[in-house]
């Protein structure tokens, strides 16, 4: 294992040097109208009703032609450091058995991608949520809050990113439903995916819970959703479900939404990848996501023991937001739709994305 780790580090040497250059780069602010608070001030609740405040000429546009801010791995603000490591993370599980006192804090530093709770994200203007759902065996879980909470003994669905969250799926979705009752012209996109170790019964139970909770607020996939159409029908939720057998049985659910991401910790490579996708593939016909999130690898973690995903992301945000400012929503091949990021509450990311819709208004005014 030690030899393998050394080989990984050697192979990733160029990437490490690239990250070193990012970390030593002087902090700078992006050239938009919003100041990026590198110390964590960031977003406010001023975007809680931004969809209802869009100009009337945009109300009949398809939602996939608007610019919509989203959060990557939306639920990682409440990771449970005492929960089991996901069985799919074989290397982490091995390390966790050897040195849990080192492994758990390290996982937390690199798996946490958000710091604001779901309702705060909604208030900040986030309308797309990346919900990675997992089965958690409570009976085999020791020393966690859930192990001592009998009311949760039958609630096995949580969110996960290497480890599980403290908040259950039902609790999070219920919070969203309550918020939507207070903001009846706002529309959210819930991307349910991954489904670690879910049984067929848990899939059916989850879909039943979603349909009962949101009811007529669900927009079926046969529709071409626009603000005006959703408002007239009382629809506020587009639920994407990454499971083909379930989709065949439930027409109220949408298929997986394409998510473009570079799989790199270098913001310049993230931008290059997104621009290459725009140039070579063009935007999909319906909803799609441009991911600004940075991804890590073992060598980066080993060579920067005091670095966190938050520090790396905040250092990279000015460059990424500069790219966002230059984007335009709409039906054109190079247009954007949903733009996702990490730590959405620590910058004015949501406001920057929402403001792109003004370009649509200008386009209509010139016609």
Query: What CATH number corresponds to the domain at position 71?
Result: 3.20.20.190
Nearest alpha-carbon partner for 293 in 325, 326, 316, 327: 316
Count, residues in the chain: 367
State residue 227's pLDDT score: 98
Angstrom distance (rounded) from CA 346 to CA 366: 35
Judge whether 237 and 187 are in contact, CB under 8 Å: yes
Angstrom distance (rounded) from CA 117 to CA 226: 27
- Low-confidence residues of the chain: pLDDT under 70: 1-45, 139-154, 363-367
State residue 150's pLDDT score: 41
Q: What is the largest CA-CA distance in the chain?
A: 65
State residue 16's pLDDT score: 52
Angstrom distance (rounded) from CA 310 to CA 57: 38
State residue 25's pLDDT score: 56
Active-site entry in 135, 161, 183, 203: 161
Angstrom distance (rounded) from CA 177 to CA 181: 6
Is 194 an annotated catalytic residue? no
The helix or strand, by DSSP H or E, that contains position 96, with its residue range, turns out to be helix 90-98
Tokens, residue 74: 């939306």
Dihedral sign (CA 75, 77, 78, 83): positive
State residue 285's pLDDT score: 95
State residue 341's pLDDT score: 98
State residue 28's pLDDT score: 47
Structure-token match 């966690």, residue found: 144
Domain that holds residue 118: 2-366
Helices 100-111 and 309-325 cross at an angle (nearest 10°) of: 10
State residue 17's pLDDT score: 56
Count of structural domains, the chain:
1
Q: 338-341 and 163-168 as β-strands: parallel, antiparallel, unpaired?
A: unpaired
Task: Specify the 3-state DSSP secondary structure of 168.
Answer: strand
State residue 221's pLDDT score: 94
Structure-token match 């993370």, residue found: 89
State residue 172's pLDDT score: 98
Nearest alpha-carbon partner for 248 in 287, 284, 204, 201: 204
State residue 96's pLDDT score: 83
Is 366 an annotated catalytic residue? no
Dihedral sign (CA 93, 243, 116, 345): positive
């Amino acid at each position: 294992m030690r030899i393998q780790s050394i080989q990984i580090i050697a192979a990733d040497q160029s990437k490490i040097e690239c990250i070193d250059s990012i970390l030593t780069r002087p902090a700078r602010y992006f050239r938009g109208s919003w100041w990026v608070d590198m110390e964590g001030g960031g977003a406010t609740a001023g975007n809680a009703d931004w969809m209802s405040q869009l100009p009337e000429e945009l109300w009949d546009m398809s939602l996939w032609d608007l610019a919509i801010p989203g959060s990557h791995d939306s639920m990682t603000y409440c990771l449970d450091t005492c929960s089991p490591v996901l069985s799919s993370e074989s290397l982490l599980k091995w390390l966790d058995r050897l040195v849990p006192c080192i492994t758990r804090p390290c996982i937390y530093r690199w798996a946490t991608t958000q710091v604001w709770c779901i309702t705060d994200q909604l208030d900040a203007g986030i309308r797309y949520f990346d919900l990675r759902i997992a089965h958690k065996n409570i009976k085999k879980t020791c020393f966690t809050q859930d192990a001592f909470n009998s009311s949760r003994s039958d609630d096995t669905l949580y969110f996960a990113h290497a480890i599980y969250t403290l908040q259950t799926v039902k609790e999070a979705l219920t919070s969203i439903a309550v918020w939507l009752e207070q903001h009846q012209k706002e529309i959210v996109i819930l991307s349910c995916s991954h489904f670690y170790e879910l049984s067929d019964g848990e899939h059916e139970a989850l879909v039943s819970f979603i349909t009962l909770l949101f009811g007529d607020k669900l927009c079926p996939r046969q529709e071409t959703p626009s603000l005006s159409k959703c408002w007239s029908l009382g629809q506020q939720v587009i639920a994407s479900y990454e499971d083909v057998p379930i989709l065949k049985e439930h027409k109220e659910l949408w298929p997986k939404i394409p998510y473009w991401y570079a799989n790199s910790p270098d913001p310049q490579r993230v931008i290059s990848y997104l621009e290459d996708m725009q140039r070579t593939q063009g935007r999909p016909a319906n909803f799609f996501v441009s991911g600004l999130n940075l991804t890590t690898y073992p060598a980066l973690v080993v060579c920067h023991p005091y670095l966190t995903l938050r520090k790396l992301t905040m250092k990279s945000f000015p460059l990424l937001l500069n790219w966002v400012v230059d984007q335009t929503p709409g039906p054109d091949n190079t247009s954007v739709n949903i733009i996702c990021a990490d730590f959405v509450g620590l910058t004015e990311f949501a406001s920057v994305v929402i403001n792109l819709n003004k370009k649509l208004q200008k386009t209509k005014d010139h016609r």
